[in-house]
Amino acid sequence: MSSKQKILMVCLGNICRSPLAEALLKSKVNSEKVLVDSAGLDSYHAGEPPCPSSINIAAEHGLDITNLRARPFETADFDKFDKIYIMDKLNEALIRKKARNAADLAKVDFILNEIFPGENIEVPDSYQKGRSAAKLVYDMLDKATSAIAKKLEN
C-alpha cells in the first residue's frame, strides 16, 4: 500500500454496530497503514459513547470502545474515506440521499458483502435488544472485518 487506506463504518446512530466494526477492524490492521473511523446517519446520539450492550460485548472480547463517541456522517466523508461500509438497507437509503455523484456511491457497500458478495445482507440493529443481539452483531462484524483486514493486507 503506497498511502494510508481510510475506512469508515456507518450505521444509523453510531452507538452500536459501527463502533464495534471500527474497533474490530482497528484491532486487525496496522494503524500506520489503515485509518478506521465510524459515523452515524442520524445525529441524535452525537457525542454519546457506544451503547452498554456494545461496550460489554466488546469488552468480553478484549476491546475497549468506551472512549469512542458518536458523530454524524458528513458529505465530506465521501472525500475523506476510500471505502464506506454500511450495515443495512436504511443506511443505504440515507447515504444515497447524501451522495453527490456516482463516485461517492461507488465507495459505499454493505459490510457483509465482504463475506457474502453481492447479497446485501443486513447487520441487524442491536440497540436496546440485549446481549444476544449484541453477540450476533459482534460475530457478524468479526467475520466481515477479518475479511476486510485480509483484503487490505494484499
Q: Taking CA 84 as the corner, what is the angle to CA 83 and CA 87, rounded to the nearest 5 degrees? A: 140
Active site residue 142: no
CB 24 within 8 A of CB 101: no
Question: Which residue of the set 17, 37, 51, 88 is catalytic?
Answer: 17
Residues 11, 37, 71, 88: which is the catalytic one?
11
Among 77, 100, 125, 139, which one carries the catalytic annotation? 125
For residue 38, what are the contacts with CB-CB under 8 A and spacing of at least 6?
A: 8, 9, 10, 11, 14, 18, 19, 21, 22, 68, 71
β partners of residue 72: 40
State yes or no: is 77 an active-site residue.
no
Q: Is 11 designated active site?
A: yes
Residues 6+ apart with CB under 8 A from 32: 4
Q: So which residues are the catalytic ones? A: 11, 17, 125
